[in-house]
Each structure stands twice: as structure tokens, then as C-alpha cells.
Structure 1
Amino acid sequence: MKVMKPEWANLEAFALSLILEKLEERIDHVWFGAVCKNWRTVAKLNHQNHQFKSNALPMLMFVTEREGKEKKINLCGIPTARVYDHFQLPFLQNHGKEICGFSHGWLAIVSYDSKVITLVNPFNNNVAPIILPPLCCVPCGVGKVILSANPTTSSNFYVATTLGCCSVLYIRAGQKGWTCVTTNYLSKFTDITFYKGLIYAVNRSGTLVSCNPSSLDDRQRIVPKVVFQGTRGSCYKWAYLLKSLEGNLWMVTRSWHRRTFQVFELEMDAQSWNFEPLRSLGDNVVFLSCNSSISVSASCFSNCLQKDSIYCSQYGLGIYNVRNGTSSNIFPCNLPIQENLPPCWVLPSFQWD
């Protein structure tokens, strides 16, 4: 009896779509499309017409560097902890460069030798890198770098960052120099974000300040507005800012002594701002690092993400459950992450054209 070999390349589109839906990692969709022309066509159509276009599972990007060899870009997926190391990023190869942000699909890479920040899109080879003007000063190190919009779809965007000396820098696309916002706070800013057209920055005491980049004259002395004054004497190991799925501004604080987190939602009442503590994250699952803060839907990834949880890659890879206060590990402890090259959460957005 002759055994018939399955013709995998000629499977019907419906069957291939069912297989594709079972793949949690966006990068696995790329490998799916690389099998043959028919599979690629199905994958491309699904991404054009399906929920995959807006929903993506975060992956951990980290850099490994061995003495005498080039740096290697690695991506690690959450469901399987599988490491993908086939990525090259030429702008990161030289010494004195590191990733300092992921925003709207773009990585920010800072060069401490030239004091220049370069924006690159690691998942789209069709867009050129954006080299920003040199920073006016880098005395204490560059903090997180963020974008107000995607440069691929918007020509009018801002880039903002923090410096270790309690300063905020921002620049609009096309400008020749950075605008510096200085404060009198001794505690450095740990995070920064764009929210409803304003720049918000938070420091270790939980004090939140804001400034409007579009209405300020570069020649004026810029003083930020204090939105929320942190509690006197309080000092967190780190404070993060991010926008929830519902469009609200959240602050997440991490304690010094234990791996515990608190989540606060910014609310306005009678022209004053307050942070209300949250006991549940709703449909949000939060991903935090020193250079990216992301919130994704728990219901979309219920098979591989823990509800009401914070996935943090800073000071170790851990998961903290906000509702019951328990902690666990994300990945195996032998993941080759180097302390001097901080990892970054990214949302892969691979192109199909």
C-alpha cells in the first residue's frame, strides 16, 4: 500500500488560518510565512484583515556582548522563553552605545561619545534611521527616550528624554537643538511619557511634573508645572509612567526593600490632581523596564499572560500580581542578560510587503 505524503504547501486557507491563530508570538507568524508562497499569502491576508494587526504580545529585547566580538540582538518570547538571535542592528555595534527607549515601534540608541540619539525601526528595513541633533549636555547619563508619535506616519512629532541631573530635554522633528527643562528637585527623574499633548516626568519621590512642548518659546526660562507632589520623606526604588488601555495615566512605584509594586491612576478633581491607588488592573497587563512601559490586554492573551500582573525586567526578571501581592519568575534564570546592557520590552510589528 502506497503511503500518501501530506501536501503541506497546498493546505486550504481556512486550515492555515486556524494554525496561524494558535501562534501567540508575532515572530512565529514570520516563520509561518517563510514556509512557502501559499503560507505567506495567508499570513499576509490575516494580518491585513484580522485582529493581529492591533494586538501583539511583548517580547524582551536584550543585547549580549562578548569580548572581542560584536554585540548580538536577542528577542525572547514569553510563552516558550525561546530566544531568537538572528537580528542585526549596525547602529548598536560600537562601544559606548546602548538602547535607551522603545516607543511607537522605534528604538532609541544613544552614543555617549558623540552625545547623539539615533532612532531606528528594528522591524522595518524600508525606513531610514533618524539621527537627532547632539544633546546639549550629558553629565549624568541619558534616561528613557520617548516619542509623541510614529515618525513613519507623522512628520510632526516630538522626542523627549530625561537626564540624571533632574532635567527634561525635548525636541520637535526638524528643529536644530534641544529645549531643556530644569527643576530644583534633588531626586532624579526615573520615567517620562507623553500624555494628551503634554510631557510628564516622575522622580523617585513620586513627584510628577509636566510641560507643554508646543506652547513654549525656546528663549524663555522653562519651569515645569508640579502636577502631583510626592509624599515628604518617601523614596521609591523606581517610579514608572504609562497609559492604560482605557487611556488613563498610571504611575507604578517599586519599593526598595521588597519586590512589591503599587499602581496609581491620575485623577483630576476640582482643578487638582490626585493619584488613586488601584487594587486591580482590569484588563491591563503591564510590562515595565527602565527604557519602556507597555500595557496590553489580558483577555487577548489569556493563555500566556497572568491577569492583574506586572512583568518587570528591571532589577531581575519577575512577575508581580497586584491583587494578591505574590511574585514569580518570568524566564529561566540562565537567560544571558548583562547588567550593563539593560533589556527592553518591545512590540514587534513585522512588515509583510
Structure 2
Amino acid sequence: MERSRSPFPDWAHLPPLVLHLISERVKSITDYVRFRAVCSPWRSASLPKPRHLPPQLPWLMFPWDSQDEEDDGIRLFYDHWESKTHKIHLPDMIGMMCRGSYRGWLFLDSQQEGAEVFLLNPLTRARIQLPSFTAADNESDEADIDIIKVTFSTELSDPDCLIIAFPLVRSSTFCCRVGDPCWTKVLFYAIPDVFPDGTYYNERFYVLCLGVMHVIDTNKPGDMIVYDFRREIRCANVFLQGEKSGVYVVAFFGQKEQDEATAQKDEDDQAAHDNKGTTETTPKLKIELYQFIEQPLELKKITNTSDTALFFTDYYYCLAVCSDDWDSLDGGSVYIQSKHVPSTDTDGDITCYNIFSGKLNDFKYERVASEVTKKPSFGPRPPAMWFQPSFV
């Protein structure tokens, strides 16, 4: 009776079923966190690991930034959905370097001999310990492995899930399951020592090296498929993306790459000399998307990307998001992170991270966000990378 006399509705004591139904209408992961933080009844009526949330729009995780002070564990994440930067205190990341992210998990190590390696979920603070690389295949010379990409064979909750780490240098990759005492080295024979990208799909490794795709079947490692990219694609920065529907190749042409690709095409096209008198504006950026088909062996160019948006950094990391899950996200959109380091006279170099947005087919991009930070004066500097937040 006392509650009924109040001029304000008693939102905290809504029936638990009603609160639960409301929580299932929340779409954004940050809004869901806020929902559970309102009060104890709201928290009790909502699930700590909800299954109804769609795949989230990526956050851009900036590398740790410090000039002289010690690492305090605070990391910056740019939230594309809210167009704002979140500061998250992650003590587990102190002294650690993020090598990659996959399905809501960050892959961390410190690149020191005998150092620990683990997966971290920045939202739930869940941590999964992995073997150190000194135990990789019982070889002590693996301590300085420079991991450039991490992927999973299935959902991490699957006990048979393989965690796959691709190193930049070495014609091999490393696999383990949660609880394994060491990494298992998978050798890729007849592949040079450096490959910039790789992925895993349907029990096969896909390794990119010098404009060539190598496909290695885990059940028949001796049977390797080799696919040569055409010459203009070799001039691009190429990324591999393993999705549920197959393996995709993303060719990223900057100004330099476009000039090289045009030169290669002119060599192959004898009719190019007829156009010497014409002039056209070369776009600053071009991206082409392909699906890799094994039967027949070919790259199939994808021109209709109405249900997909792509997110890139200016290093090697990219991911794709289904645009149908988000009302505000147009299909065929591309979001690219780039950085520049202007020189200053007082506090040292200043790094500016920019996010540009455009359409896949028109090659015109505009800046939608930027973040200015100080460049650290010591230690290796990891790249910024897109990270797709998740509770699971």
C-alpha cells in the first residue's frame, strides 16, 4: 500500500518474468551490462551469459599507451555502436601483449622465454590458461614466436576445439586444446618461412604466402592444394577470413598497391596503350572480396555484399559482420582503422587512430571517429585490432 501511494513507479520491483522479457529485448552488449547494473532485482532477473544477443558490432582495441609511467592495466576500446571509447581496467593485461582476438577472446603473451600464454574475455574477465611456447613440440627455441593471428576450429566450449596460432616467421603453425600440456607444431613443408596470414576451416589449414594459397588437409597432410593468385591480386594486401560458409579472401589496395596492380594489368593487356591519352582519378582505396572455391579451384568475386560489413585495421586483422543483425549497419560497408604519427616538439610523438567508413564498391571513405594517444617510448608496439565483444 505504501508503494502504491508513491508518485513514481517502482521499476525495481517489477515481476521477475517481466524483467527477464525486457532484458531479452536489449540488443547492445553495453546496454545489457547497464541493465544488469541498475539494481539487484534487475540483475537477478537477467542471465549473466545471455544467448539472445546478436553478434556484436566490433570494438577497436587500442594498444597500451604510456610514456614513462608503469602499465596500470587500463585499456581503451572504441565502441562502434555507441561511437565512444570505453576505458576498461584489465589487470591481467599488465605486461602482456595482445596477439589477436577471436570470438570475444583476446590471445595474450609477453614474448618472453617461459612466459605464460592465455585467453582473456575483457567483459567477463574469464581467463583460460594455455601452454607457453617453450613447451611447443619440446623445442626450447620457440620462445620468440611472433604470433600474428589466432583462430578456433569450433566453439571454445567444445572439448575438441582446437586453438590455432599462426606465427609470422616459420613454415608451421601451433595447435592445442584447453588443458593440453604443450602446443603441437604442424609443419607446412614446401612453404617459405614467412607467411602473413592464415585461417582454418572444415579441418583444413589455409596459408597465404607470396601470392599463393596453400590448403593443407589435417587428415591428409601430404595432399596439398596450391592456388596462385592472379598478378593484380598479388599486389594487394590480402587477408583470409574463415567463416561458417567458407573461406574468403579480402584484397586491400592502397594507392601504392593500385598503381602496382595497374602496371601488372597493363603488361598483360596489350590494348592498354590505346588509352594513353586519357586521365582518370585513381581512388585512394579499393577493396575486393572473393570466396575461395576448391571445386573447381578458383576465386569467386563477390559483388553483392548486402548482408555483410567488413572491418579492417591497417596491419593484418579483419573480420566480417552480418549487417542484418543491426538496423544501423548497411550491407557492403567497410570500416577501416588507420593511424599516423605526427611529430611534436614537446611530448614526443603523438599517435592518431582514425576510423573511416565507406561502401565496398564506390571507394570513397570519410572519417567517422578518431582517438589521439601518446606513443610509448619503449618496448614493442602491437597493432590496434578489431574485437567482437561477447559474454561466451
TM range (shorter): 0.7 to 0.9
The structure-2 alpha-carbon separation of the partners of 1:185 and 1:261, relative to structure 1 and needing over 3 Å to count, comes to farther
Question: Is 1:189–1:203's contact at 8 Å kept on the other side of the alignment?
Answer: yes
- Is it true that 1:146 corresponds to 2:151 in the alignment? yes
Q: Following the alignment from structure 1 to structure 2, what is the Cα–Cα distance between the partners of residues 212 and 170? A: 15
Matches within 5 A, 1:114-133: 114=113, 118-122=117-121, 123-125=123-125, 127-133=127-133
Q: Following the alignment from structure 2 to structure 1, what is the Cα–Cα distance between the partners of residues 294 and 171? A: 25
Which residue of structure 2 lines up, in the alignment, with residue 219 of structure 1? none
Q: If each structure's helix is expressed as a fraction of its own residues, which one has the higher value? A: 2
The structure 1 segments of at least 4 consecutive aligned residues displaced by more than 6 Å after TM superposition are none
Shift of 1:98: 1.7
**Amino-acid identity (%):** 14
Question: Is 1:203–1:239's contact at 8 Å kept on the other side of the alignment?
Answer: no
Matches within 5 A, 1:255-334: 255-257=253-255, 258-269=284-295, 272-289=296-313, 290=315, 292-303=317-328, 305-313=329-337, 316-331=354-369, 333-334=370-371
Q: Following the alignment from structure 1 to structure 2, what is the Cα–Cα distance between the partners of residues 261 and 110? A: 32
Question: Is 1:287–1:310's contact at 8 Å kept on the other side of the alignment?
Answer: yes
Query: Which residue identity does 1:56 align to in structure 2?
Result: Q
SS in 1 for 2:101: strand
Matches within 5 A, 1:44-55: 44=47, 47-48=50-51, 51-52=52-53, 54-55=54-55
The structure-2 alpha-carbon separation of the partners of 1:278 and 1:141, relative to structure 1 and needing over 3 Å to count, comes to same
Shift of 1:300: 1.4
Shift of 1:233: 6.9
- Is it true that 1:99 corresponds to 2:113 in the alignment? no
Shift of 1:240: 1.2
Normalised by the size of structure 2, how large is the TM-score? 0.72
SS in 1 for 2:324: coil
Question: Is 1:285–1:306's contact at 8 Å kept on the other side of the alignment?
Answer: yes
Normalised by the size of structure 1, how large is the TM-score? 0.79
Which residue of structure 2 lines up, in the alignment, with residue 84 of structure 1? 86
The structure-2 alpha-carbon separation of the partners of 1:323 and 1:18, relative to structure 1 and needing over 3 Å to count, comes to farther
Shift of 1:213: 3.6
> Which of 1 and 2 has greater Rg?
2
Which residue of structure 2 lines up, in the alignment, with residue 197 of structure 1? 203
The structure-2 alpha-carbon separation of the partners of 1:40 and 1:132, relative to structure 1 and needing over 3 Å to count, comes to same
Q: Following the alignment from structure 1 to structure 2, what is the Cα–Cα distance between the partners of residues 128 and 172? A: 12
Question: Is 1:73–1:89's contact at 8 Å kept on the other side of the alignment?
Answer: no
Which residue of structure 2 lines up, in the alignment, with residue 165 of structure 1? 169
- Is it true that 1:181 corresponds to 2:187 in the alignment? yes
Unpaired runs of at least 5, structure 2? 256-283, 340-353
Q: Following the alignment from structure 2 to structure 1, what is the Cα–Cα distance between the partners of residues 292 and 19? A: 46
SS in 1 for 2:325: coil
Shift of 1:158: 2.6
Question: Is 2:201–2:243's contact at 8 Å kept on the other side of the alignment?
Answer: no
SS in 2 for 1:64: coil
- The count of residues paired between Structure 1 and Structure 2 equals 330
Question: Is 2:238–2:251's contact at 8 Å kept on the other side of the alignment?
Answer: yes
What is the aligned-residue RMSD (CA, Å)? 3.4
Shift of 1:204: 5.5
Question: Is 1:101–1:291's contact at 8 Å kept on the other side of the alignment?
Answer: no
Unpaired runs of at least 5, structure 1? 217-222
- Is it true that 1:112 corresponds to 2:80 in the alignment? no
Shift of 1:76: 1.9
Shift of 1:200: 0.8
- More displaced, 81-90 or 312-321? 312-321
Q: Following the alignment from structure 2 to structure 1, what is the Cα–Cα distance between the partners of residues 86 and 34? A: 11
Question: Is 1:192–1:200's contact at 8 Å kept on the other side of the alignment?
Answer: yes
Shift of 1:322: 1.3
Q: Following the alignment from structure 1 to structure 2, what is the Cα–Cα distance between the partners of residues 337 and 194? A: 36
- More displaced, 224-233 or 71-80? 224-233
Q: Following the alignment from structure 1 to structure 2, what is the Cα–Cα distance between the partners of residues 166 and 10? A: 60
Q: Could you give the per-residue CA deviations for residues 154-178 of structure 1, whole angstroms, max 9, x where no partner exists?
A: 2323333333336231223336344
Which residue of structure 1 lines up, in the alignment, with residue 269 of structure 2? none
Q: Following the alignment from structure 1 to structure 2, what is the Cα–Cα distance between the partners of residues 237 and 295? A: 19
Question: Is 1:166–1:187's contact at 8 Å kept on the other side of the alignment?
Answer: yes
